Amino acid sequence: MVKECPTCLHINPESYAECDECGTDLVGVDPIEESEVEVTQEQPQEPVDVIQEECAHSNLHGNYCLDCREYVKINEISTGEWSLQFPWGEYKIADYLWIGRIKPAPQDMTKELEKNFKNISRNHAQISVDDGKLYIVDLESTNGTFVNSQRIIPNQKVELTQESTLKLAKDLVIEISLKGVEL
């Protein structure tokens, strides 16, 4: 038995917890028979243009659907594309986004926060998309995360909508948008 990495399609021994090639977490990946490897290796490695009707692409890891084992263009998924507008730029959310002054937050974010928003914690919050819905978790930040003017409880997942107001600490306001969906 082996585990096929859902991100890079690398074949790993069944006992591996993460992909030897790209580091993707393999804990939830079901092992497959080695004889199935040839079939799965023939899957397209570039995004496909059309969503197949039998799969809603709701079990995504990045832009790879774990259900149908195909790469998909995130903006073509029926749930749309979430993005967050910070004062210095926009971040599109396909899977998750860390917010803070150190990695794993994006490098441009860490620089901007360190320079202009020192009241944001080093690991402040995590934004994630799950089944087409947007969520935030406060990572025990010092100055808090506020959804609709209410401080959220640390380590609890809170759903966000386009109408939600999101503020980190006292002065970082983030706009939420969902593109590519007809309401």
Region of residue 149 (left: phi > 0; alpha: psi -120 to 50; beta: else): left
168 DSSP β-pair partners: 145, 172
> What pLDDT is attached to residue 54?
59
Who wins on pLDDT, 53 or 59?
A: 59
The string of pLDDT tens digits covering residues 122-173 is 999 999 998 888 999 999 999 999 999 999 999 999 999 888 889 999 889 9
Give the mean pLDDT of the chain. Answer: 79
> What pLDDT is attached to residue 151?
95
As a whole-number percent, the residues of the chain with pLDDT over 70 amount to 74
Among 19-23, 59-63, 114-118, 123-127, the least confident range: 59-63
**Domain 81-179 sits in CATH 2.60.200.20:** yes
> What pLDDT is attached to residue 99?
94
Answer yes or no: are the C-beta atoms of 138 and 152 closer than 8 Å. Answer: yes
> What pLDDT is attached to residue 5?
81
> What pLDDT is attached to residue 58?
56
Please compute the mean of the pLDDT values over residues 89-105 and round it to a whole number.
89
User: DSSP for 80-135?
Assistant: -EEEEEETTEEEEESSEEEESSSTTS-HHHHHHHHHH-TTS-TT-EEEEEETTEEE
Residue 18 has pLDDT above 80, yes or no: yes
